[in-house]
Structure 1
Amino acid sequence: MEESSGSGIGGIIVLIVYLAIAVLFIYSFWKIFEKAGKPGWAAIIPFYNLYVLLEVVGRPGWWLLLYFIPCVNLVVAILVAIDLAKSFGKTAGYAILFIFAVGYPILAFSDAKYAGPAAKSA
């Protein structure tokens, strides 16, 4: 019986860590959107947040559909990460930080300024 109570505590710890990470990323996207002149609350709306991200980087809205195609979504995510880095005056190499997810909080809490959409709208 004691064994199961220990796993319950472990589950609660995992849940707390997961929620803390989720809040960090929501807040990071909120700040990034605000820096780009978009509404910060868009970060909490599923799918709409991707649409707003596409607007920030200058990609057409229909690219949202590409996120639903297996393998293609990985390529799109990488291209959007590169465009996001360039939109804030960073190099394409900075996009590697986005791929490993640490770039979003760094960008949000840095003094990086939005320079405009890096990609040309189609």
Structure 2
Amino acid sequence: MDSNLISEQLLSTTSVVWGVIFYIVYAVTMWRVFSKAGYPGILALIPIVNWIFLVKIAGMTGWAALLYLIPIVNVIFAIVVAIKEGRNFGKGGVFSFFLLFLFPYIGHLIIGFGSAEYRKV
């Protein structure tokens, strides 16, 4: 067998394993965030439904989640949702922008497993 083919297969397998590990950690993290906000954690695992409830956690109507489907608007809307979500968990705008919008894996991990408590503002 060609050594390049073996290297590519190994890299591909490694990437898939890391992807699955990150997905599982993020799913558990989002489950905790949803539970802290008073919603069933299982909703965090359902695609598109998790957008609706994340928008509700941010304090807006679930219908606003449709804005995620509009190009360019979705980026601005995601920033607004991140900032409002952070505010409802007692976090500031800088934390919300950088750790809930740009690096949500880290921000939601801090909110889900940290001492932040949900209080709808």
TM-score by length of 2: 0.92
- The residue number in structure 1 matching 2:47 is 46
Q: Is residue 55–residue 61 contact of structure 2 (8 Å, CA) maintained in 1? A: yes
Distance in 2 (alpha carbons) for counterparts of 1:32 and 1:67: 20
SS at match of 1:86: helix
Q: Greater CA deviation, 68-77 or 103-112?
A: 103-112
1:46 Cα offset (Å): 0.6
TM-score by length of 1: 0.91
**Identical counterparts, % of pairs:** 32
Distance in 2 (alpha carbons) for counterparts of 1:17 and 1:106: 21
The runs of 5 or more residues in structure 2 that have no matched partner are: none
Q: Greater CA deviation, 49-58 or 72-81?
A: 49-58
1:2 Cα offset (Å): 2.3
SS at match of 1:37: coil
| Letter in structure 1 aligned against 2:30 | F
- The residue number in structure 1 matching 2:79 is 78
Match of residue 113, structure 2, among 101, 106, 109:
109
1:23 Cα offset (Å): 1.1
After TM superposition, the runs of 4+ consecutive aligned structure 1 residues lying more than 4 A away are none
Q: Tell me which of the two structures has the higher relative contact order, counting C-alpha pairs closer than 8 angstroms and 6 or more residues apart.
A: 1
Matches within 5 A, 1:25-36: 25-36=26-37
- The residue number in structure 1 matching 2:90 is 89
Distance in 1 (alpha carbons) for counterparts of 2:99 and 2:4: 39
1:34 Cα offset (Å): 0.2
Q: Greater CA deviation, 97-106 or 78-87?
A: 97-106
Q: Is residue 32–residue 41 contact of structure 2 (8 Å, CA) maintained in 1? A: yes
Distance in 2 (alpha carbons) for counterparts of 1:63 and 1:113: 24
Distance in 1 (alpha carbons) for counterparts of 2:114 and 2:56: 21
1:53 Cα offset (Å): 0.9
Aligned length: 117
